[in-house]
Amino acid sequence: MNDKVRLASVGLGRWAKVLARGAQRGDVIELHSCFSRSEEKRNAFREEFSVPKAAATFDELLADPEVEGVLVTTPNDTHREMILAALDAGKAVYTDKPIAHTLEDAMAISDAVTRSGLVFAVGHSARRLSGHRMMKQWIDTGSLGNVSLAEANFSNERGLELTTDTWRWYADKSPGGTLIQLGVHHADTLQYLLGPVAAVSAHVRRLYTASEVPDATMAILEFESGALGYLGCGWASPGVYQMRLQGTEANLQYDLDFTHWDESHLADDWSSLVSQAYRESVRTPVDLPRTDMFREQLEEFALAIRGEATVEVGAEDAIRALAIVRAALESSAARGAAIELRPLLDSIGVAAS
């Protein structure tokens, strides 16, 4: 008997295919159904991934009693509508990051999740990269000492390639541009490593993209611990994915070749983590255990539906990452003035941690 968890893909673009490949690298998930408004995309996705069903409408997919959960990879500004409909239909939901394009939509999603009691996961996958897991281990064991400074950058050339027929072109659909699409990964991972951010000061610019959204962001994060962090992200350069942590006992520097981001089962082959001990100048490679962030997060979600796992990143963590995006945009509009996170979170009803 096939006892795999039956999931359905919603929004069948490039990222749905990346996640489908991740799910099919394991033996936990069956991609049971799929939906896109485009019949051509539905048929192509069904054929490529051997999906048993393709729903002609989203309502048809949600009415299928065999579907246990849905994987939402639709544009950010549609997340609220899609997620609330799925929860109302009694389906568990995994959504790609960010949780939504506004904090208000994110909070509406969070409230609906709480009311439903259903499993909900957000695809902040970057914290699962082997380099970040190792950084967390060094922090938790004291090997890094006390961290005073963090530096993180996630950039690529996407802003130079945007066209008016893509939703990422438009400021109302993708506020912050590179910040909400790339920087939000580091916004989550840095808080996973160093705890909550207290305030954000930022400058956001639109320099070289023809689109409506900014392609350059520099933000300073003030953590509640007192540590300071730099978060940079751009949409007008070749791919960069880096993070550096500076501690009283050691430094750690992580670098990943962004061109292999989609192949999460191979990413560790194209990554490096080096350490530098206190009073030493030598940088020593740190072994990275193999990980597969997309497969791992999807299997965790699937097993949580069956009561056999707990979701690591739910609505609260996702909202705290999105709040950094909002704070950075508000700060930039105020010419770099610091924006405190607590009043921002209080304004949408997020309880203190």
pLDDT digits (tens, 9 = 90+) for 266-311: 999 999 999 999 988 899 999 999 999 999 999 999 999 999 999 9
Q: What is the pTM of this model?
A: 0.96
> What is the residue range of 42's domain?
5-125+296-312
Residues 57 and 135 grouped into a single domain: no
Alpha-carbon distance of 161 to 203, in angstroms, equals 23
Residue 347 domain-assigned (yes or no) = no
Residues 258 and 135 grouped into a single domain: yes
Alpha-carbon distance of 166 to 210, in angstroms, equals 13
The mean pLDDT value for 212-239 works out to 97
Amino acid at 249: E
Residues 169 and 303 grouped into a single domain: no
b/e map 138-158, b = 16+ CB within 10 Å: bbeeeebeebeebbbbbbbbb
Whole-number pLDDT of residue 350:
84
Residues 177 and 269 grouped into a single domain: yes
Q: What is the mean pLDDT of the chain?
A: 96
Whole-number pLDDT of residue 347:
87
Percentage of the chain beyond pLDDT 90 is 94
**Confidence check: pLDDT of 351 > 90:** no
Q: What is the pLDDT of residues 70-127, one digit of tens each?
A: 999 999 999 999 999 999 999 999 999 999 999 999 999 999 999 999 999 999 999 9
Residues 247 and 262 grouped into a single domain: yes
Whole-number pLDDT of residue 238:
95
Whole-number pLDDT of residue 348:
85
Residue 345 domain-assigned (yes or no) = no
- Determine whether 136 is exposed, middle or buried from the number of CB atoms within 10 Å of its CB (0-12, 13-18, 19+): middle
What beta strand segments (E) does the chain contain?
Answer: 5-10, 29-35, 69-72, 92-96, 120-123, 147-155, 197-205, 216-223, 228-234, 240-247, 250-256, 271-277, 284-285, 339-340
Residue 135 domain-assigned (yes or no) = yes
Residues 121 and 263 grouped into a single domain: no
Q: DSSP letters of 92-161?
A: EEEEESSS-SSHHHHHHHHHHHHHHT--EEEE-GGGGSHHHHHHHHHHHHTTT-SEEEEEEEEE-SGGGT
Query: Using an 8 Å Cβ cutoff, are 183 and 233 in contact?
Result: yes
Residues 251 and 167 grouped into a single domain: yes
Residue 348 domain-assigned (yes or no) = no
Residues 130 and 236 grouped into a single domain: yes
Residues 141 and 272 grouped into a single domain: yes
**Confidence check: pLDDT of 2 > 80:** no
- Please report, for residues 157, 341, 344, the alpha-carbon distance to residue 350 in angstroms, rounded to integers and kept in the order given: 34, 11, 9
Tokens for 33?
């159904």
CATH number of the CATH domain containing 83: 3.40.50.720
Residue 352 domain-assigned (yes or no) = no
Residue 243 domain-assigned (yes or no) = yes
Residues 115 and 136 grouped into a single domain: no
Residue 251 domain-assigned (yes or no) = yes
What domain count does the chain have? 2
Alpha-carbon distance of 260 to 165, in angstroms, equals 26
Residues 158 and 234 grouped into a single domain: yes
Residue 317 domain-assigned (yes or no) = no
Whole-number pLDDT of residue 353:
63
Alpha-carbon distance of 46 to 344, in angstroms, equals 43
**Confidence check: pLDDT of 1 > 80:** no
- Give the residue among 77, 96, 139, 88 at the shortest CA–CA distance from 113: 88
Q: What is the pLDDT of residues 242-256, one digit of tens each?
A: 999 999 999 999 999
Lowest pLDDT segment from 54-63, 240-249, 258-267:
258-267
CATH number of the CATH domain containing 332: 3.30.360.10
Residues 103 and 76 grouped into a single domain: yes
